[in-house]
Amino acid sequence: MSSQRALVIGAGQAGLQLAESLRAFGFEGSVLLAGAEKGLPYQRPPLSKEFLLAESVAPTVFRSGEFLESRGITLLDGHRIVSVRRDAGGGEARDSTGRTWAFTHLALTTGACSRVLDLPGADSPAVHYLRDLAHARRLGNAARSPRVRRVAVIGGGFIGLELAAAMTALGKSVTVLEVAKTVLARAVDQRISRYVEGALLNRGIDLRCGVQPVAVLDSPGRATEVLLGDGTTVSADLVVAGVGATPRTEIAESLGLACAPGIVVDGRNLASDNRTVAAGDCTQPERSLFNPLGLRLESVNNAVTQARVGAATLAGVEPPPPSVPWFWSVIGDIRLQMAGMPSPGATADVQGDPLSGSFSIVFHQGATLVAVQCVNDPARFAAGRKAIQRGSVIRPGQKP
Amino acid sequence: MIYVQANGHRQVTDIQPGESVMSNAIAHGIEGIVGECGGFLSCASCHVYVVGTLDGLPPLGDLEDAMLEGTAAPRRDSSRLGCQLFIEPPRDGVEIEVPPAQ
């Protein structure tokens, strides 16, 4: 019987994957998976999509309790870890009830939280965010009320636009407020931004780019208003903000781990103390073959990939080979699939016809395909992802 | 459902009405069926080979057809994405071969 005990703090997608991968990589000690929320780990991506449309309040869970038990994974759900102490043999974590959990191996999969609007009046109860199941339930309940007719979405990123589409499907009158000149400005090629904007306008969404929300005005008996920098206001019965996420690093910082702003990890997902691993939305990765700028990635694929690497590191086995990061978003009936990371000097060409509603932007660095961004174009996505993986793996040291 | 791994290992599960083969495989921890995107037809990591007849299965959709072009293991005539595969009504003995890679 092994005296080793791994503690995984954070029971989202990365935490669950890390716990499972520890087993898959032969870790023989006990595995504790601690999460602040009650219940089994669940999938987050549906929360901004079909979950909001349905009356059903059951989340999509990954694994049954029996499955976790069969793998020797002890789920400590409803246990928020509030402090961690390290010593030579491992350490001890304390949860919010004061109970302590000793460990020999530590993984941080603490995720991220919604960035909060830094505006006067933003603490109004009419302002919603979306990160976890409780948020989604509250937002869904509010949005399905027939008294809510007008919705203002602050932020034209993936979450904001997914929410805008869902609210439109619920019959709401939706206004999207985006600071940048286009939606999805930092995420995709501007030709895709333009296509998405056209599609949203066709659905009757009032899209306002280049506007700066400066306050939320809330007075009893009246609709909430979002005041914009030009002095105009947007009235809404419900406001939802999707303005980015902040990595949760309280525990990492208390342990003295480098954070910038996510927990800085190396290619083995080791934090700066060289023994704690971290994975998922809470991390800041280093520059690597498939992420040459070392950008912080918030995606299912990144959570799963980093968790596998982190688990291999803790289990003392060779990590899986690097893989191409990929992302997806479903905005109403627009399916966006992206693979690879466009580098600043890459060329970006259109394949397919944007007017047909199915096209892709392909990015080349020299002759090498480095990224694809696909709109309703799954065949190019699938082929592109494979080609990026192949090309970049064979390239170093191979004959041309 | 019967899941057969490349090494011949077999696992038998019960599938519920409305449950896709991908969800069923994930819930029962079938190795080699990943379902990374959660059933949004975005990742092709729930690629499976159906053993025996394809009769009575939902028809292959255009998006599914396109995503199957990008699977890690070779596509065969029996290839499907588990997230699009619903066995209605649920019945015993439907056999799924798990590809060697996703």
Average pLDDT over residues B45-53: 92
CATH topology of domain B2-97: Ubiquitin-like (UB roll) (3.10.20)
Residue B31: per-residue pLDDT: 86
Residue B57 has pLDDT above 80, yes or no: yes
Ordered structural domains, chain A, with CATH: 5-113+246-315 (3.50.50.60), 116-243 (3.50.50.60), 342-394 (no CATH)
Name, in order, each residue with C-beta under 8 angstroms of A399's C-beta and a sequence gap of 6 or more. none
List chain B residues with CB under 8 Å of A62.
26-27
List chain B residues with CB under 8 Å of A378.
41-42, 63, 66-67, 70
Is A385's CB within 8 Å of B70's CB? yes
Domain ranges of chain B: 2-97
Average pLDDT over residues A207-215: 97
Residue B81: per-residue pLDDT: 95
Residue A344 has pLDDT above 90, yes or no: no
Smallest CA–CA distance from A71 into chain B, residue: B29
Residue A400 has pLDDT above 50, yes or no: no
Average pLDDT score over chain A: 94
What confidence tens digit (pLDDT) does each residue in A55-114 have?
767 888 889 898 999 999 999 999 999 999 999 999 999 999 999 999 999 999 999 999
Residue A396: per-residue pLDDT: 41
Q: Can you give chain B as a three-state secondary structure string?
A: CEEECCCCCEEECCCCCCCEHHHHHHHCCCCCCCCCCCCCCCCCCCEEEEECCCCCCCCCCHHHHHHHHHCCCCCCCCEEEHHHCECCCCCCCCEEECCCCC
What confidence tens digit (pLDDT) does each residue in A48-57 have?
988 888 876 7
Is B26's CB within 8 Å of A62's CB? yes
Is B27's CB within 8 Å of A67's CB? yes
List chain A residues with CB under 8 Å of B73.
none
Residue B27: per-residue pLDDT: 87
Q: What's the predicted TM-score (pTM) here?
A: 0.92
The answer to whether A190 touches A160, Cβ cutoff 8 Å, is no
Residue A279: per-residue pLDDT: 98
What confidence tens digit (pLDDT) does each residue in A261-278 have?
999 999 999 999 999 999
**CB contact burial A325-360 (16+ within 10 A = b; e otherwise):** bbbbbbbbebbbbbbbbbeeebeeeeebebeeebbb
Residue B72: per-residue pLDDT: 85
